[in-house]
A and B are shown apart, each in its own frame.
Chain A
């Protein structure tokens, strides 16, 4: 099992709050990248993460998109998996029981194609062992509104969040898409509807063309771009949302190093998620946490939470609270 020198005894309080959920540290394994951590456990202890977000679960089983589904791109990766998954019934019967022995806190992720579907699936996630929050992948197409993405519209986003809040007691996190002109009204709509936090950002829409075959690389034509290529877009989305929100932000998009994570924290994020970088370096959570702690120490801060918003004028007190 790998460990990094100097990460043995944290002298800094690394805990953060996401609504009523308290995470032992601000690092979250992003949805769709980590399963429950078992695959990574062969080379790193998944308990390095403060929480693991599960792959999104839908009401029905889904086969996902045709192949190819992934394409490496400069400093990034395109994916169009298409929410392949077993559906909520199978998940509850065959996968949820194993959550009792999860290596760290679990955030369940729900995807749906109607408001009712989100609410029904989320309600059944409430109360599962070690599940401390529910993340809503509101970047799906809304079949009740001609396939428009929920997170492209403040009202649709609010409708999903409100319907889920009515059915669950756990904190609810809305994961928003960056594929909008202005993230602020969407983030505000989620907050007004009762969201306990927002995750920023989901993958950025993109595509690649195979010029030898003269056709799109992905069978789905377009996909979601992740990796360092999207980091500046993500940091800006966090910065913009932090201007108007009072709920915590989980920042994500291309984080590979402690310095990358600090960008998000200082721009206003309370926690950060790491996705694609796990594929390149499974030890990434150990490195990132060590470097965040070092930075807090260097600044003579006693908590990691105090790093939040250090670069942002909305956090004028420089103490991590507004």
Chain B
């Protein structure tokens, strides 16, 4: 289990920005969590109202005592969150989950993001910049209006190739098409919808390229106690839970919890057939 340093912190909503239809960007002053946030980590937000469990949201940027969240409205909790006035106090639990790991020496890495899967990569791009390692970024979405966060990443001085299913921005096609058309990467980071991640894992595994992906599931507790967000992983891998087999059980997998054993998994460890 990774070393955890978490806080339950009352954060203050300091900015609220509508960035595209359905997409919001919130700034939260949360010194303890912002100061420790790593790429692919998330916060569990206690949304005011009749909600029984916290809403997990990936940390987009973290700078000084402030972190930001980039999210889409997709249910009652996100709708409520998007309409809270600046100045609201929100209880955050975080930073939660493991992080993308950055090699100490590398020739370069390729980030592959689908839609809101761009969220973990602002912090990763900053890490790469600090380490002085080259990074290329591919971001895809169904159409231009679903490509969010790209401008913010570009502000870091990073070159980004975009693609859309309908050709409304960048190359027409998906991120895997774009990846195939390029020289083989040394290292891949991925985040996006399950179908994209599955295709990305196949791409990386077939070519023996190390690949880390950040996965998403519906969480219950966000703390690893409810077992509501499991993913099958290769038996014996770092994130395998290690439960013994029942008699006559020939399965080759274990179940890991996305919320605490992840959200980052090695592409070679994730088993998609279940």
Q: Check if B50 sits within 8 Å of A87, measured CB to CB.
A: no
By DSSP majority rule, is chain B's interface helix, strand, loop, or mixed? loop
Q: Check if B52 sits within 8 Å of A77, measured CB to CB.
A: yes
Q: Check if B228 sits within 8 Å of A69, measured CB to CB.
A: yes
Q: Check if B219 sits within 8 Å of A70, measured CB to CB.
A: yes
- For residue A104, CB closer than 8 A to chain B, the reply is no
Q: Check if B51 sits within 8 Å of A72, measured CB to CB.
A: yes
* Complex alpha-carbon distance, A2 and B218, angstroms: 28
* Complex alpha-carbon distance, A74 and B52, angstroms: 8
The residue on A at minimum CB distance from B54 is A280
* Complex alpha-carbon distance, A226 and B221, angstroms: 12
- For residue B165, CB closer than 8 A to chain A, the reply is no
Q: Check if A276 sits within 8 Å of B52, measured CB to CB.
A: yes
- For residue B43, CB closer than 8 A to chain A, the reply is no
Q: Which residues of A contact B227 (CB under 8 A)?
A: 32, 55, 64, 69, 81, 84
Q: Mark B234-258, 1 if CB is under 8 A from A, else 0.
A: 0000000001111101010001000
- For residue B7, CB closer than 8 A to chain A, the reply is yes
Selected contact of B228 from candidates A73, A81, A283, CB within 8 Å: A81
- For residue A141, CB closer than 8 A to chain B, the reply is no
Q: Check if A32 sits within 8 Å of B243, measured CB to CB.
A: no
- For residue B230, CB closer than 8 A to chain A, the reply is yes
Q: Check if A70 sits within 8 Å of B226, measured CB to CB.
A: yes
- For residue A116, CB closer than 8 A to chain B, the reply is no
Q: Check if B75 sits within 8 Å of A72, measured CB to CB.
A: yes
- For residue A35, CB closer than 8 A to chain B, the reply is yes
> Shortest distance in angstroms between B23's beta carbon and chain A's nearest beta carbon?
18
Q: Which residues of A contact B7 (CB under 8 A)?
A: 43
Q: Check if A280 sits within 8 Å of B46, measured CB to CB.
A: yes
* Complex alpha-carbon distance, A228 and B7, angstroms: 25
- Name, among B8, B51, B228, B274, the residue most crowded by chain A CB atoms within 10 Å (CB to CB): B228
Q: Check if A283 sits within 8 Å of B8, measured CB to CB.
A: yes
Q: Which residues of A contact B51 (CB under 8 A)?
A: 72, 75, 280
Selected contact of B220 from candidates A64, A70, A84, CB within 8 Å: A70
* Complex alpha-carbon distance, A63 and B230, angstroms: 10
- For residue A281, CB closer than 8 A to chain B, the reply is yes
Q: Check if B243 sits within 8 Å of A70, measured CB to CB.
A: no
- For residue A71, CB closer than 8 A to chain B, the reply is yes
> Shortest distance in angstroms between B228's beta carbon and chain A's nearest beta carbon?
4
Q: Check if B91 sits within 8 Å of A281, measured CB to CB.
A: yes
- For residue A236, CB closer than 8 A to chain B, the reply is no
Q: Check if A278 sits within 8 Å of B221, measured CB to CB.
A: yes
Q: Which residues of A contact B54 (CB under 8 A)?
A: 279-280
Closest 7 CB pairs of A and B: A227-B52, A70-B228, A70-B220, A75-B50, A279-B221, A86-B243, A39-B223
Q: Which B residues are closer than 8 A to A by beta carbons?
A: 4-8, 46, 50-54, 75-77, 91, 93, 217-231, 243-247, 249, 251, 255, 260, 274
Besides the known contacts A42-B4, A60-B247, A81-B228, 4 further A-B residue pairs in the complex with CB atoms under 8 A apart: A69-B230, A226-B52, A279-B221, A282-B8
